[in-house]
Amino acid sequence: MSESRIVLHFPKTLLDRPVISKAVQHYNLSFNILRADITQEQEGLMVLGLEGEQDDIDAAVEWMREQGVRVQPLEKDVVRDDERCTHCGACVVICPTDALAMDLQTREVAFDAAQCVACGLCVPVCPPRAMSIHF
Amino acid sequence: MIEVPKTYEEINEKIRSGEVVVVTAEEMVEIVAELGPNGASQKVDVVTTGTFGPMCSSGAVINVGHSTPRMKITHAWLNDVPSECGLAAVDLYIGATEVAEGDPLNRSHPGRFNYGGAHVIEDLVAGKDVRLRATAYGTDCYPRRELETWLNIRDLNEAYMLNPRNAYQNYNVAVNKFAERDIYTYMGVVKKGLGSANYCSAGQLSPLLNDPYHRTVGIGSRIFIGGAQGFVYWQGTQHDPTGARNELGVPKGGSATLGTVGDLKQMDPRYVVGVSMLGYGVSLALGIGTAIPILDEELAAQTGVSDAQITAPVIDYSHNYGLNEGEPLGHVSYAELKSGSIELEGKTVPTTPLSSYVRAREIAEKLKGWVKAGQFPLVPPVQALPTPESSPGFKPLNYRPVAEEGGE
Ligand code: SF4
Ligand code: SF4
SS3 content of chain A, % helix, strand, coil (to 5): 25, 35, 45
CA of B275 vs chain A CAs: smallest distance (Å): 5
- pLDDT tens string B311-337: 999 999 999 999 999 999 999 999 999
Q: Do B354 and A86 make contact, defined as CB atoms within 8 angstroms?
A: no
Mean pLDDT of the B135-143 span: 97
Q: Do A88 and B339 make contact, defined as CB atoms within 8 angstroms?
A: no
Euclidean distance between CA atoms B316 and B353, whole angstroms: 16
Residue A121 lies in domain: 78-133
Across all residues in chain B, what is the average pLDDT?
Answer: 96
Q: Are residues A72 and A82 in the same domain?
A: no
Angle at B328 between CA B322 and CA B330, to 5 degrees: 145
Q: Are residues A31 and A49 in the same domain?
A: yes
- Best probe of the B interface among A83, A88, A103, by most B CBs < 10 A, is A88
Name the burial class of residue A133, with classes exposed (0-12), middle (13-18) and buried (19+) by CB atoms within 10 angstroms of its CB. middle
Q: Are residues A82 and A129 in the same domain?
A: yes
- pLDDT tens string B47-60: 999 999 999 999 99
pLDDT attached to residue A6:
83
Whichever domain contains A26, its CATH number is: 3.30.70.260
Q: Are residues A63 and A125 in the same domain?
A: no
Mean pLDDT of the A52-65 span: 90
CA of A92 vs chain B CAs: smallest distance (Å): 6
Above 80 in pLDDT, residue B16? Answer: yes
Mean pLDDT of the A18-43 span: 79
Sequence-distant (6+) residues with CB within 8 A of A82 are A130
Euclidean distance between CA atoms B300 and B25, whole angstroms: 10
B141 given a catalytic annotation:
yes
Nearest atom (ligand 1) to Cα of A109: 5
- Domain ends where: A30, A46, A76? A76
Q: Are residues A70 and A83 in the same domain?
A: no
Provide, rounded to the nearest whole percent, the portion of chain B with pLDDT above 90.
Answer: 96
- Cross-strand bridge partners of residue B47: B23, B292
Whichever domain contains A105, its CATH number is: 3.30.70.20
Q: Are residues A63 and A83 in the same domain?
A: no
- Domain ends where: A57, A76, A95? A76
Mean pLDDT of the B3-8 span: 82
Q: Are residues A63 and A22 in the same domain?
A: yes
Q: Are residues A49 and A62 in the same domain?
A: yes
Helices A54-66 and A19-26 pack at an angle, to 10 degrees, of 150
Beta strands B22-24 and B46-48 are parallel
Euclidean distance between CA atoms B61 and B11, whole angstroms: 34
Q: Are residues A90 and A102 in the same domain?
A: yes
Across all residues in chain A, what is the average pLDDT?
Answer: 86
Euclidean distance between CA atoms B175 and B195, whole angstroms: 8
Q: Do A124 and B283 make contact, defined as CB atoms within 8 angstroms?
A: no
Nearest CA to ligand 2 atom 4: A119
Q: Are residues A7 and A43 in the same domain?
A: yes
- pLDDT tens string B65-93: 999 999 999 999 999 999 999 999 999 99
- pLDDT tens string B223-281: 999 999 999 999 999 999 999 999 989 999 999 999 999 999 999 999 999 999 999 99
Above 90 in pLDDT, residue B347? Answer: yes
Contact criterion met (CB below 8 Å) for A94 and B192: no
Q: Give the up-direction half-sphere exposure of residue B268: CA atoms within 13 A in the CB hemisphere.
A: 12
Nearest CA to ligand 2 atom 8: A95
Above 60 in pLDDT, residue B1? Answer: no
- pLDDT tens string B112-125: 999 999 999 999 99
- pLDDT tens string B361-371: 999 999 999 99
Nearest atom (ligand 1) to Cα of A129: 2
Nearest atom (ligand 2) to Cα of A131: 2
Provide, rounded to the nearest whole percent, the portion of chain A with pLDDT above 90.
Answer: 36
Q: Are residues A63 and A128 in the same domain?
A: no
Euclidean distance between CA atoms B155 and B359, whole angstroms: 30
Among the bound ligands, the one closest to the CA of B278: 1
Provide, rounded to the nearest whole percent, the portion of chain B with pLDDT above 70.
Answer: 98
Higher pLDDT, residue B59 or A119: B59
Cis ω for the linkage preceding B350 (within 30 of 0): no
Q: What is the DSSP letter of B189?
A: E
Query: Which residues in chain A have Cβ-Cβ distances shorter than 8 Å to B355?
Result: 88
Q: Do A127 and B54 make contact, defined as CB atoms within 8 angstroms?
A: yes
| Phi, psi of A16, rounded to the nearest 5 degrees | -100, 20
Q: Are residues A57 and A97 in the same domain?
A: no
Mean pLDDT of the B30-46 span: 97
The 3-state DSSP class for residue A73 equals strand
Euclidean distance between CA atoms B128 and B268, whole angstroms: 13
Euclidean distance between CA atoms B317 and B294, whole angstroms: 38
Residues of A with CB under 8 A from a CB of B: 40, 42, 86-90, 92-94, 102, 104, 106-108, 124-125, 127-129
Above 80 in pLDDT, residue A30? Answer: yes
Query: Which residues in chain A have Cβ-Cβ distances shorter than 8 Å to B54?
Result: 127
Q: Give the up-direction half-sphere exposure of residue A62: CA atoms within 13 A in the CB hemisphere.
A: 8
Angle at A104 between CA A100 and CA A108, to 5 degrees: 55
Number of domains, chain A: 2
CA of B187 vs chain A CAs: smallest distance (Å): 9
pLDDT attached to residue A19:
83
Torsion of CA B214, B353, B194, B343, to 10 degrees: -70
pLDDT attached to residue A76:
67
pLDDT attached to residue A37:
73
Contact criterion met (CB below 8 Å) for B78 and B151: yes
The 3-state DSSP class for residue B23 equals strand
